[in-house]
Structure 1
């Protein structure tokens, strides 16, 4: 971890005789360099180290200059009544979201509103900037009513790790809402807000949307800017819309999508944003839908049955629904887990929620707050994140980036496997979660039991965070236990129109 003094801003200290400045970075001593040389096996002599000491001290003058300079800030365009969790921020007097109330997942910055990202580590932090998606919502006339609960550092697929307590499923308060966008899904499902922003690195929009019976879309990687949100792994990070119906989901997607200048290197210059809401209605005759065999095989039987029955309904409108095998889908979880676990260790933990080596806007105050949290109270990390950090540290120490790199290479194969089927079919279809909302852990549950509750439901969701394909979940019906079952539709990169059209067609059939 970076020592706390590395992020200390230039300070001015008064004395009776003179004013002097404390350097932004405390220069090393010869002993510091000697210890580093020994630990790294560099075999530097003291003569060498004295030369390096002079060189490093000179280089640090540049750090002093950086510390003095004032960087750009993301704009804060609208007055607000901040509150804590709940707030009231009214945007433009007119726009596409006029009259809509919105909740913002608590890994996304809203200026003047405290942000915890579900964790004690960020307790006391209040951003001074609005994330890009927040500004776009307000520009479109939306009214933000608060931050929504999320799981601790967004690192759990269940809904019991938030530092303030579990998020209860509105369909059955003894059950989980799913994670990590747990509060967004629960509040939309309960009718407390119209729309919500969710975040998705492995299913964190789609799993809670599925378990709460609403619509949730993980867009194509890079369609929606991530600027101003806390990152987990920059090759997996997505923000997206959550709503009670497909139309509202498409509406929010229209508002938050599009290029964000040079702020987010996740984005490509080829990003285009059509008017999704005007293209929802289309003829289903001739549309080809591929049911992915491996996507059904990993699910509980009642989940399979509900999704399969719903999937076949579009044949009555002339669509072609066929079952197709993509064997590599079974390896998607292993591939994405290697990227996600090692990536989270380097980007979220060592990189303090920002990571390194990418061009764009770094939310430095958020990074500094996480640095402080990791340094001063690491014991307050959630159990699930402690496991991820232990795993990441072990792999990095013994294997460096070997498996992360190989997994990224295998992801090229995985992406190609889906793309090959999507050349012939309009979309892929499978259950969203492998099972319905699980019971929340009991007070006397063991660590082993709680960790087990954070795995298995994501098997169909997580591969598409790696490959970046757009994926939407809609409610397909209810299980034998009366719980919502999600149906996931996956499309070609940047073909959200087709994904939304087919989701909309299913939604209309469900009303009949």
Structure 2
């Protein structure tokens, strides 16, 4: 199929869009000159590309009825059986609906992508199947993954199975609900501001945001290249370590990765914490909206680590207190540029471009009025600031991010792991269906203060349950480690898990 050739008048119009004022004669000249360059586009269009092989048979699946979809956690149910044996043999897996599974519909929680069916498996999907896992379907997620609450998906609210009527957390809402309810053993999550760790905390399960670039993002709907993380959500620390073993490592296709290597994370699970230096970060406690019980339970978790031989310190990270503010321009302007203006791929990067996904995403403006309240606000702010200030604030935030990263690195040179609440509050009630934009936005972003900073810095962090509030809402503690030191995270997380089992 040939690329559509412009008319002379369209050349003049396109030139005006980039500030060039052609006369009729100049437009005619440049119209002719463009033809040879556009011939190259035609040649590219006529050539075949080599996509990764889709190895395992599957059917497109079904959208389950409400009776067969407890907590509204499934987007699509199907069954894809992997290899006959492997590390994940006997394990059932839910794939967050921002991840490509060939032949199975993918909506990313939106109305905009409805009807899109990927023709490739994401790298992590292929790895699960090669290691014998069984995929049971796609889990619901929030609209374009832009919410820490479970109430913004086009597919409806996702309910917390641990505390009925309450928020399951987001954006990996369906994944966490399915794991917490025991419907699957493990699920994928994505984390640009806390979207693995927030729902894990709210649902009382284990969620890990790995080191940036450790897990390939190939075939996952991109949000912002410097913030994108994919990781495991499980009921136990042991399963989390096992799942990461399969997910991690370079695939040669993701530009976020730089020599990423998987490690035998399962070996860390029973190593204990004797001599481990744990730093309590005061800036992570008593934050806006914090519940006293949450802070108290996390401090008690530190004492449990100390009782098992850890050495407890208090260590300040001053820039953590403003970390969410530093993250905000990066998230809003970067997301608007990559995800919306450039259809989730853009330019200036190598890797696997999923052309069908780009085509499906390119229609978003036609349905912009259907965006969630969180997306409308985020895109409005991101567009306004980036277009009026020439990207200055994105750049300054990234410069400040270097300082915040150094602040974390300094702290982690003095201790082995950092400790703070995952979220300042336990799960909140789901908004009423007719809630206004103010409440919807509040319930979507009130909890990101501790999780967002490490998305910007890229340090690995894990949420592990450390008890409940007096009204039985789960509480998560977050541990943060040096780059590529997930082994230490799993050792400490397992000790905490054992202390509360």
TM category, shorter: over 0.9
Out of 268, 278, 287, the position equivalent to 2:276 is: 287
Correspondence 1:492 to 2:482: yes
Which contiguous aligned blocks of 4+ residues in structure 1 show a shift greater than 4 angstroms?
none
SS in 1 for 2:478: strand
**1:75 corresponds to:** 53
Q: State the alpha-carbon separation in 1 of the partners of residues 421 and 119 from structure 2.
A: 40
Q: State the alpha-carbon separation in 2 of the partners of residues 378 and 129 from structure 1.
A: 27
Checking the alignment, whether the CA contact within 8 Å between 1:75 and 1:129 is kept in structure 2 is: yes
Runs of 5+ consecutive residues of structure 2 not aligned to the other structure: 63-75
What is the aligned length? 486
Out of 355, 370, 375, the position equivalent to 1:380 is: 370
Checking the alignment, whether the CA contact within 8 Å between 2:163 and 2:472 is kept in structure 1 is: no
Following superposition, the deviation at residue 40 of structure 1 comes to: 4.0
Out of 86, 101, 111, the position equivalent to 2:92 is: 101
Out of 158, 165, 175, the position equivalent to 1:174 is: 165
Following superposition, the deviation at residue 142 of structure 1 comes to: 0.3
- Deviation per CA, 1:122-143: give whole Å up to 9, x if none: 1111111111000000000000
Following superposition, the deviation at residue 438 of structure 1 comes to: 1.0
Q: State the alpha-carbon separation in 2 of the partners of residues 226 and 45 from structure 1.
A: 46
Following superposition, the deviation at residue 456 of structure 1 comes to: 1.9
Correspondence 1:250 to 2:208: no
Checking the alignment, whether the CA contact within 8 Å between 1:234 and 1:355 is kept in structure 2 is: no
**1:31 corresponds to:** 9
Correspondence 1:48 to 2:26: yes
TM-score where L is the length of structure 1 = 0.93
1:353-372 → structure 2 map (5 Å cutoff): 353-372=344-363
Following superposition, the deviation at residue 59 of structure 1 comes to: 1.1
SS in 1 for 2:459: coil
Correspondence 1:415 to 2:405: yes
Correspondence 1:239 to 2:220: no
Following superposition, the deviation at residue 283 of structure 1 comes to: 4.0
Following superposition, the deviation at residue 67 of structure 1 comes to: 1.2
1:39–1:104 distance in 2 versus 1, CA, 3 Å: closer
Between 490-499 and 308-317, report the one with greater CA deviation.
Answer: 308-317
1:336–1:37 distance in 2 versus 1, CA, 3 Å: same
Following superposition, the deviation at residue 281 of structure 1 comes to: 1.9
SS in 1 for 2:399: helix
Correspondence 1:190 to 2:168: no
Checking the alignment, whether the CA contact within 8 Å between 2:112 and 2:361 is kept in structure 1 is: yes
Runs of 5+ consecutive residues of structure 1 not aligned to the other structure: 1-9, 11-22
- Deviation per CA, 1:68-98: give whole Å up to 9, x if none: 1111212211112331211111101110101
SS in 2 for 1:117: coil
Correspondence 1:274 to 2:252: no
Out of 32, 36, 44, the position equivalent to 1:66 is: 44
- Deviation per CA, 1:139-185: give whole Å up to 9, x if none: 00000001011001111111111112100000222111000000000
**1:92 corresponds to:** 83
SS in 2 for 1:61: helix
